[in-house]
Structure 1
Amino acid sequence: MPYLVALVVLVGVFCLVNLILIVGVIRRLREHDEALAARSEQEQNRRAILSEGEVAEPFETVSTDGGLVSRDRFEQPTLVGFFSPGCTACHEALPGFLAMAERFPGGPEQVLAVIVDENGESGAQRASLEPVARVVVEKLGGPVTSALHVGAVPAFGLVGPGGTVMSSGLRLDQVLTAASA
């Protein structure tokens, strides 16, 4: 009989400890969910590049083919894309950008691709972009990324005469939808 009482007490203590642990885990999961929701909201509010109507700061740089690229050379609407070699989302967005660049009015002269490359790994992206766009390779904070206030990659924009942003977004379809509206 005393063994049975001890066993019941032991099972009761075990259940109580288990219940306390479960309540603690549920509390931590709620905190984790709230942190994820806050982070998701921050990411949604993060700007790709300057917003519609804003004007890029003056800049001047040289493309991979030796041509001059500057804010003052935006005479027609220009499709702009920012990529990085180590970025999975950039690799996923690249085929869509290439397809759009091939069809974009004005050809490669009206398409600018900026590869944000910190480690000299831009070779593959550069090779795929050069046939359809003027390509600039620079570090984050370079002339083009600074002038357009790039906050994330991939980022896309449609930039009009004088560097005025006509539309921008973290996805190419956002830019094209806004531009066609």
Structure 2
Amino acid sequence: MSFLVALLTVVSAVHLMVTLALARTVRRLTRQVGSRPVILEMDETVGPFHALTTDGVRLDRAALPGFGMVAFFSLTCPSSLDGVDGFRSVAGRFPGGRDAVLAVLVGEERAAEPYARMLEPAARVVVEPERGALSRAFKVRGFPAYALVDATGRVLASGGELEEVFVIPQP
């Protein structure tokens, strides 16, 4: 019986050590992921790109407006798609109107159709596959991702939350 108690004590101690080691690893990884930017940061420059909007307009970095707003949404991420309606609301009031706003839907074209129709009155819309030209140019690493850019492609503000990037006036 004392052998069984000793064995159970050793197994419990090993289990506790493994659990603590896993907890430390999870905490370290969470800090690393949390500190990693989801899109280019302030003062970084957008890379070159070529894209076609849903209404047939060709875009490249030279076509960026003097002051523009860009958003990226993943069609496979429900929490990303939850931000589409809020973005549309902000985009509808953005200075420069629709031509100063770009929404990028990442995923399959068929799945993008309802979101593209929802966004088109307030923004130019591009649908692209994972790691498409715009996602690479803006170094998107998470969704949703938002940025304010100037005509040279310099990022003025960016983040993964709408409120991080845009001051949203209350109606």
TM-score range, shorter chain: 0.7 to 0.9
Cα distance in 1, alignment partners of residues 94 and 109 from structure 2: 30
Aligned equivalent of 1:176: 166
Cα deviation for residue 13 of structure 1 reads 3.8
On the 8 A contact 2:53/2:59 being kept in 1, the answer is yes
Structure 1 residue runs of 5 or longer lacking an equivalent are 1-9
- Counterpart of 1:147 in structure 2 is 137
Query: Structure 2: how far apart are the matches of 1:119 and 1:75?
Result: 25
Q: How many residues align?
A: 167
Hey, which bits of structure 1, 4+ residues long, moved more than 4 A? none
Q: Distance in 2 between matches of 1:26 and 1:151?
A: 35
The letter for the 2-side match of 1:64 is T
**Are the aligned partners of 1:84 and 1:122 in contact in 2 as well (CA < 8 Å)?**
no
Match of 1:112 among 102, 105, 109: 102
% identical equivalent positions: 31
What secondary structure sits across from 2:152 in the alignment?
helix
2:44 counterpart (50, 54, 58): 54
Structure number with the higher helix fraction is: 1
RMSD: 1.9
Structure 1 residue 19 displacement after superposition: 2.4
Find the aligned partners of 2:22 and 2:82 in 1 and give their Cα distance. 28
Aligned to 1:101: 91
Distance 1:128 1:35 in 2: 42
User: Which structure has the greater CA radius of gyration?
Assistant: 1
Preserved contact between residue 65 and residue 99 of structure 2 (Cα < 8 Å): no
The answer on whether the counterparts of 1:54 and 1:165 sit within 8 Å (CA) in structure 2 is: yes
Query: Taking structure 1 as the reference length, what is the TM-score of the superposition?
Result: 0.83
* TM-score of the aligned structures, taking structure 2 as reference length: 0.87
- Aligned with residue 113 of structure 2, among 123, 131, 156: 123
Q: Deviations over 1:75-123 (max 9, x none)?
A: 3211111011110220222222122112211221111010111574222
